[in-house]
C-alpha cells in the first residue's frame, strides 16, 4: 500500500524484519491469548501476529489505513476498533490482555498513564517508544531521567528495555532513536498507596520544579517533620527520593487529609 505518513497521527512505519521478529518473539504470543495491537499502521506487526494468535484486536484512527487493513487476509481473525486510543475502553474487550504496539510518540505519555487504569486486566505490554521515554520510564533515583513518569509507572509495572531500534528501521525515519519496552503489571512492588489520586498529585507537585528542593515544591502540603517521618530529608531534590518514599509520603498525606476532614 502507498500511504503518506501523517504527522498529526505521529506515523512512522516499522519495516525492519529483524526488529519485527524480535518484538514478536519477545511478546511470546500464544494462540488463545487476547491480544490488542495499538496503531497497526501498514501491518508490520499485524501480519506476523495473525500467524500466532486465534484472534487479534486492532485500534487504529487513520481511515485510509483501516481500509487497507480490511484488505488483509484472515479478516475473520480480526476486530478493527476505529478511533482515538486515548478514548478507548480497554475493558470493552473481555479477559486478561496482552497489548502490543508501535505507539505514536506524540501521545505516548498520556496513553501510558491511561493504561494504568486497566492494570488488573493486563498480562503484559510490549511497546515501541522513543528511546528517551523508555529511559525515563525505567530510570532510578539520582539520575536526570528520573521523574514523575518513572515513579508513577514503576508503581504499576515491572519494566525493562529489551530492544534498541535505530531510526532507519522505520519509513519515514524519525529524528530520534527508539526502543522496545516490556511492562508487566506488579502493583505493590514499591509499596501500596492508600489513594492513587493523592499519589498522582504528590508526584505532579514534587517534580513541578526539578531544580528546587522537595521542601520548596511541597511547602503547601508537607512540612519538614512529616517528610522526615518517611525518611525524606527536606533539602533533597525530587529526583533523589526513592519511589518507596514517595509511596510512604503519599499515605502520610492521605491520612493527614482524612484527619483534617
Reduced to 3 states (helix: H, G, I; strand: E, B; else coil), residue 179 is strand
Closest Cα to residue 43, out of 86, 96, 95, 102? 102
Is the model more confident about 81 or about 5? 81
User: 32 and 160 share a domain?
Assistant: yes
Q: How far apart are CA 84 and CA 9, in angstroms?
A: 10
Contact 198, 152 (CB under 8 A): no
Q: Is 101 in the same domain as 210?
A: no
* HSE-up of residue 124 (Cα within 13 Å, Cβ side): 14
- Residues 176 and 205 reside in one and the same domain: no
CATH of the domain at 227: 1.10.8.100
Last residue of a domain, one of 185, 207, 223: 185
> Does residue 190 fall inside a structural domain?
no
Share of residues in the chain with pLDDT > 90 (%): 82
5, pLDDT greater than 50: no
Structural domain of 206? 196-260
Domain final residue pick, 185, 208, 231: 185
Residue 56: left if φ>0, alpha if ψ -120 to 50, beta else—which one? beta
**Average pLDDT of the residues of the chain:** 93
In a domain, residue 73? The reply is: yes
Number of domains in the chain: 2
- Same domain (yes/no): 144, 208: no
Domain CATH number, residue 71: 3.40.50.150
Does 95 map to a domain?
Answer: yes
| Within-domain flag for 231 | yes
Check residues 250 and 62 and name the one with the higher pLDDT.
250
Instruction: Give the pLDDT score at 121.
Output: 98
Which position has the higher pLDDT, 105 or 122? 122
User: Tens digit of pLDDT for each residue in 145-184?
Assistant: 999 999 999 999 999 999 999 999 987 787 889 999 999 9
The 8-class DSSP code of residue 13 comes to: E
Q: Where are the alpha helices (DSSP H) in the chain?
A: 17-27, 46-50, 63-69, 108-115, 131-138, 148-156, 196-206, 214-217, 224-229, 243-260
* Distance from C-alpha of 119 to C-alpha of 132, rounded to nearest angstrom: 23
Residue 217 belongs to some domain of the structure: yes
| Single pTM value for the model | 0.91
Tell me: do 173 and 200 sit in the same domain. Answer: no
Tell me, what's the pLDDT at 261? 63
Q: Which of 130, 158, 185 marks a domain boundary?
A: 185
Do 99 and 123 belong to one domain? Answer: yes
Residues 144 and 252 in one domain: no
Instruction: Please indicate, yes or no, whether residues 65 and 173 belong to a single structural domain of this protein.
Output: yes
Which cell numbers in the block locate residue 250?
503519599
119: which residues sit within 8 A by CB, 6+ positions away? 156, 157, 185, 187
* 2 inside domain: no
Asked whether residue 1 is domain-assigned, the answer is no
| 23 and 133 together in one domain | yes
* Residues 100 and 211 reside in one and the same domain: no
171: phi then psi, degrees, rounded to nearest 5: -135, 120
Q: Is the dihedral of CA 248, 212, 240, 146 positive or negative?
A: positive
> Half-sphere exposure (CA, 13 Å, Cβ side) for 237?
11
Instruction: State whether 109 and 235 are in the same domain.
Output: no
Output the DSSP codes for 103-115: --GGGHHHHHHHH
Residues 39, 85, single domain; the answer is yes
pLDDT at 1: 45
Residue at 252 is within a domain: yes
Amino acid at each position: 500500500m502507498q500511504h503518506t505518513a501523517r504527522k498529526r497521527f505521529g506515523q512512522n512505519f516499522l519495516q525492519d524484519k529483524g526488529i519485527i521478529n524480535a518484538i514478536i518473539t519477545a511478546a511470546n504470543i500464544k494462540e488463545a491469548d487476547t491480544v490488542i495491537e495499538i496503531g497497526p499502521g501498514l501491518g508490520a506487526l499485524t501480519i506476523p501476529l495473525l500467524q500466532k494468535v486465534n484472534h487479534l484486536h486492532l485500534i487504529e484512527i487513520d481511515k485510509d489505513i483501516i481500509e487497507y487493513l480490511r484488505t488483509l487476509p484472515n479478516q475473520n481473525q480480526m476486530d478493527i476498533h476505529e478511533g482515538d486510543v486515548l478514548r478507548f475502553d480497554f475493558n470493552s474487550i473481555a479477559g486478561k490482555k496482552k497489548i502490543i504496539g508501535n505507539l505514536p510518540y506524540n501521545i505516548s505519555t498520556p496513553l501510558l498513564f491511561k493504561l494504568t487504569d486497566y492494570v488488573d486486566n493486563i498480562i503484559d505490554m510490549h511497546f515501541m517508544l522513543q528511546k528517551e521515554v523508555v529511559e525515563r520510564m525505567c530510570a532510578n533515583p539520582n539520575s536526570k531521567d528520573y521523574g514523575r513518569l518513572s515513579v508513577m509507572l514503576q508503581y504499576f509495572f515491572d519494566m525493562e528495555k529489551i530492544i534498541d531500534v535505530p531510526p532507519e528501521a522505520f519509513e519515514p525515519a524519525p529524528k530520534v532513536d527508539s526502543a522496545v519496552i516490556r511492562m508487566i503489571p506488579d502493583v505493590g512492588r514499591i509499596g501500596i498507596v492508600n489513594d492513587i489520586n493523592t499519589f498522582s498529585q504528590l508526584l505532579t507537585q514534587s517534580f513541578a520544579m526539578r531544580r528546587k528542593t522537595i521542601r520548596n515544591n511541597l511547602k503547601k502540603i508537607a512540612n519538614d517533620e512529616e517528610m522526615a517521618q518517611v525518611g525524606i530529608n527536606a533539602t533533597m531534590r525530587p529526583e533523589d527520593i526513592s519511589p518507596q518514599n514517595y509511596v510512604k509520603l503519599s499515605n502520610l498525606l492521605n491520612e493527614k487529609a482524612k484527619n483534617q476532614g
